[in-house]
């Protein structure tokens, strides 16, 4: 397992946001966490990337206990996150945002760095068209692409994607999921948090359903997508 989450408990004050969450992410896989609003998906991702402190439990990355490492050091190890709500730097250009994603890298003037930039522009040609434009002036879909591109510029082994389809027009939703599959096919392990359960399960090797801070079901994407109770609760029953 590239990532192991063991017995994770996280509180906001007295509120228990997640309770005893345990799951793993196999290297090379797409693993998804699905669940309703407030189920604890974002909190789980933030805790893995080091933005929230644990009350109990451990996070292991490539066998190493990273539970108390600051986020910066986790990025250096190969774990980067594309946040919910995009979180681009609005006053900075597309190129500057992408460079910010690579702040832990020391090879910015090398061909390897340029190759990674080119890879992001191949995945998201729109970003190349808008490379000198301020991020804050772009559409929601474009900013979503930029947030993912920025996370990729850290050259992660594992990328955490928080609701990448949120707020996108239907034609962009299909596109963003194809791009996620492509990122994975190129060798990056993906942990995907989504409310669009149908699309996420279709592409996931492994999936977990969160309800009120706990994992209530786990299986392959296909198993959960074919399960009647999952379909009724998360896939609109169709």
Residues that bind ligand ATP (CB under 6 A): 12, 15, 17, 35, 37-43, 84
The distance of closest approach from Cβ of residue 162 to ligand ATP in the complex, given in angstroms and rounded to an integer, is 8
When the beta carbons of 205 and 211 are compared against ligand ATP, the nearer one is 211
Please tell me the distance from the alpha carbon of residue 78 to that of residue 187, in angstroms, as a whole number.
13
Please tell me the distance from the alpha carbon of residue 107 to that of residue 155, in angstroms, as a whole number.
11
When the beta carbons of 13 and 170 are compared against ligand ATP, the nearer one is 13
When the beta carbons of 127 and 192 are compared against ligand ATP, the nearer one is 192
The distance of closest approach from Cβ of residue 17 to ligand ATP in the complex, given in angstroms and rounded to an integer, is 3
The distance of closest approach from Cβ of residue 58 to ligand ATP in the complex, given in angstroms and rounded to an integer, is 19
Please tell me the distance from the alpha carbon of residue 131 to that of residue 133, in angstroms, as a whole number.
6
Residue 197 CB partners (closer than 8 Å, separation 6+): 34, 230, 234, 235
The distance of closest approach from Cβ of residue 52 to ligand ATP in the complex, given in angstroms and rounded to an integer, is 9
When the beta carbons of 133 and 212 are compared against ligand ATP, the nearer one is 212
Nearest to 74 by CA among 112, 47, 98, 114: 47
Sign of the four-CA dihedral 61, 66, 70, 76: negative
When the beta carbons of 40 and 78 are compared against ligand ATP, the nearer one is 40
Instruction: Assess contact for 74 and 118: CB atoms under 8 A.
Output: no
The distance of closest approach from Cβ of residue 200 to ligand ATP in the complex, given in angstroms and rounded to an integer, is 13
Other C-beta atoms closer than 10 Å to the C-beta of 47 total 24
When the beta carbons of 12 and 170 are compared against ligand ATP, the nearer one is 12
The distance of closest approach from Cβ of residue 180 to ligand ATP in the complex, given in angstroms and rounded to an integer, is 17
């Amino acid at each position: 397992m590239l990532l192991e989450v063991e017995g994770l408990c996280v509180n906001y004050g007295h509120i228990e946001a997640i309770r005893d969450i345990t799951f793993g992410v196999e290297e090379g896989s797409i693993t998804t966490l699905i669940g309703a609003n407030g189920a604890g998906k974002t909190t789980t991702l933030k805790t893995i990337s080091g933005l929230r402190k644990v009350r109990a439990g451990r996070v292991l990355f490539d066998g190493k206990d990273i539970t108390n490492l600051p986020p910066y050091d986790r990025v250096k190890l190969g774990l980067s996150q594309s946040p919910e709500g995009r979180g681009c730097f609005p006053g900075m250009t597309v190129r500057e945002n992408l460079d910010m994603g690579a702040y832990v890298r020391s090879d910015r003037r090398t061909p390897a760095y340029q190759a990674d930039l080119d890879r992001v522009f191949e995945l998201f040609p729109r970003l190349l068209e808008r490379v000198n434009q301020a991020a804050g002036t772009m559409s929601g879909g474009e900013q979503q692409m930029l947030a993912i591109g920025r996370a990729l510029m850290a050259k992660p082994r594992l990328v955490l994607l928080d609701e990448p389809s949120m707020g996108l027009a239907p034609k962009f939703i299909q596109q963003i999921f194809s791009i996620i599959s492509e990122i994975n096919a190129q060798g990056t392990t993906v942990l995907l948090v989504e409310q669009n359960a149908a699309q996420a399960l279709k592409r996931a090797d492994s999936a977990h359903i969160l309800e009120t801070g706990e994992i209530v079901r786990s299986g392959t994407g296909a198993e959960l997508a074919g399960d009647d109770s999952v379909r009724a609760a998360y896939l609109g029953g169709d």
